[in-house]
């Protein structure tokens, strides 16, 4: 597995047992948590349920949160991960058949987490860097072709691929990624 | 044509190299540079895990992140608020319970009273039992509510003669009956008769009402579709049907 979520730099101090803390935690992290929940559950309604359950569980266990061990964000993600597993199990018990009778494929949770991390990081890097990575890596187009389309030398496309990967690395580290 | 690149120029090729997109000549040149440059090797080592993560992502999702609906935060706050209130109520009950256990007989009496009062705060698992005589003449509604002392019975009777004395009892698992008291039915009186019995609601199998010369028996637990045959109505040939009842258990 190439990466995992671990300690973050901006660790939030204090327990989550007060409602004000929950509100602050929600303001800071709900967007990301929801993004990951949608990514891994593939359903907006279930994702809302998962995020709600995550904050309620976090509030209940607020006294157990220790900022010395890890950041609030990491802790919330760990709770959400368990909630997603629980919801996935509940869904497996009463399977829903998609249109046409084909079961939607369920991505393993770790893969979904990696996918979400990269997607979120891609959203945070510069447009030009993202664009060359999409065109050359995801669409597999030749560097020369992309260079011509963008009106830049081929060397510039290569260097943008490099600075793009670097930017991804920095953003991923901010999000808690470590080798 | 450039034959010698400086370190920065080589480094800018590391992205394409990590993704396997360099032509043979450039790749060979970079590999030679990497052999002699620890800094570039370290930089490559930092990029490789990122390169390995790329295949997991779906480029269709790069443009916009899904946003949680605006009211989700309020919903979470309301859920937590509700749970906090319930916790508070439970704590309060435990506190009063503690006094009762530690205290004398007088304190015990107080505690019973408080349990009674506080017990009402929670959504109580009360049962509603409805009796309708087959002729449709007599209707008896009973609401059974569990308490520490036993069961509270609120009863509303309709269709018997005004002034009829009604005796109420609860029947336990082995057919033992626990008296719950008496009341007198008056025409025009819409209020419930409030009675109580020492039998626990969880052990209550039937509610028995002797109304004048008729007896009505309705099962309480478990919900039964069929009627428990009412005990015989003694000497009222005018309403033989009343002894056979339809019972509905409403939750």
Give residue-wise pLDDT tens across range B40-86. Answer: 999 999 999 999 999 999 999 998 888 999 899 989 988 888 888 88
Q: Picking from A69-78, A99-108, A154-163, B105-114, which range would have the lowest pLDDT averaged per residue?
A: B105-114
Largest CA distance in chain B: 123
Class of residue B199 by CB neighbours under 10 A (exposed 0-12, middle 13-18, buried 19+): buried
pTM (two decimals): 0.54
Q: Which of B19, B37, B43 is nearest to A166 (CA)?
A: B43
Secondary structure class of A160 (helix, strand, coil): helix
Secondary structure class of B247 (helix, strand, coil): strand
Say whether B80 and A22 touch across the interface (CB within 8 A): yes
Q: Which chain A residues are Cβ-neighbours of B69 within 8 angstroms?
A: 48
Query: How does pLDDT run across B107-127, given as a tens digit for each residue?
Result: 444 433 333 333 333 344 677
- Does B241 have pLDDT greater than 50? no
User: What pLDDT does B112 receive?
Assistant: 39
How confident is residue B95, by pLDDT bands cut at 50, 70 and 90?
low
Q: What is the mean pLDDT of residues B75-99?
A: 74
User: What pLDDT does A170 receive?
Assistant: 95
- Does A102 have pLDDT greater than 50? no
User: B74 to chain A, minimum CA–CA distance in Å?
Assistant: 9
What's the ipTM?
A: 0.76
From the list A30, A138, A143, which residue is nearest B21 (CB)?
A143
Q: Picking from A2-11, A87-96, B50-59, B190-199, which range would have the lowest pLDDT averaged per residue?
A: A2-11
């Amino acid at each position: 597995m190439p990466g995992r979520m671990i300690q973050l730099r901006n660790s939030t101090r204090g327990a989550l047992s007060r409602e004000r803390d929950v509100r602050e935690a929600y303001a800071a992290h709900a967007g990301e948590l929801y993004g990951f929940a949608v990514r891994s559950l593939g359903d907006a309604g279930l994702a809302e349920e998962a995020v709600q359950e995550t904050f309620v569980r976090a509030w209940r266990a607020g006294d157990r949160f220790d900022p010395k061990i890890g950041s609030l964000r990491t802790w919330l993600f760990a709770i959400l991960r368990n909630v997603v597993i629980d919801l996935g199990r509940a869904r497996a018990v009463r399977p829903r058949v998609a249109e046409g009778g084909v079961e939607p494929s369920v991505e393993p949770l770790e893969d979904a987490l990696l996918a979400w991390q990269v997607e979120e990081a891609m959203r945070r890097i510069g447009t030009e860097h993202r664009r060359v990575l999409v065109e050359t890596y995801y669409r597999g187009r030749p560097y020369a072709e992309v260079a011509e389309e963008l009106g830049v030398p081929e060397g510039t496309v290569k260097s943008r691929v490099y600075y793009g990967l670097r930017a991804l690395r920095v953003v991923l580290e901010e999000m808690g990624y470590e080798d | 044509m450039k034959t010698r690149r400086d370190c920065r120029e080589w480094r800018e090729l590391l992205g394409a190299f990590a993704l396997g997109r360099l032509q043979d000549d450039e790749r060979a040149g970079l590999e030679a540079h990497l052999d002699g440059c620890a800094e570039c090797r370290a930089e490559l080592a930092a990029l490789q895990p990122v390169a390995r993560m790329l295949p997991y992502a779906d480029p269709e999702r790069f443009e916009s992140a899904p946003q949680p609906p605006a009211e989700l935060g309020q919903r979470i706050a309301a859920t937590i608020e509700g749970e906090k209130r319930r916790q508070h109520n439970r704590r309060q009950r435990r506190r009063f319970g503690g006094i009762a256990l530690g205290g004398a007989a007088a304190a015990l009496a107080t505690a019973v009273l408080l349990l009674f009062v506080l017990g009402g705060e929670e959504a109580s698992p009360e049962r509603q039992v409805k009796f309708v005589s087959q002729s449709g003449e007599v209707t008896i509604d009973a609401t059974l509510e569990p308490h520490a002392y036993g069961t509270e019975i609120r009863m509303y009777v309709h269709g018997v003669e005004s002034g009829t004395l009604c005796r109420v009892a609860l029947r336990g698992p082995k057919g033992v009956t626990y008296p719950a008291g008496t009341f007198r039915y008056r025409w025009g009186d819409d209020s419930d008769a409030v009675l109580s019995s020492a039998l626990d609601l969880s052990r209550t199998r039937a509610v028995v009402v002797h109304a004048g010369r008729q007896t009505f028996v309705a099962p309480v637990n478990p919900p039964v579709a069929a009627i428990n045959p009412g005990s015989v109505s003694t000497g009222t040939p005018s309403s033989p049907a009343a002894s056979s009842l339809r019972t509905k258990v409403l939750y």
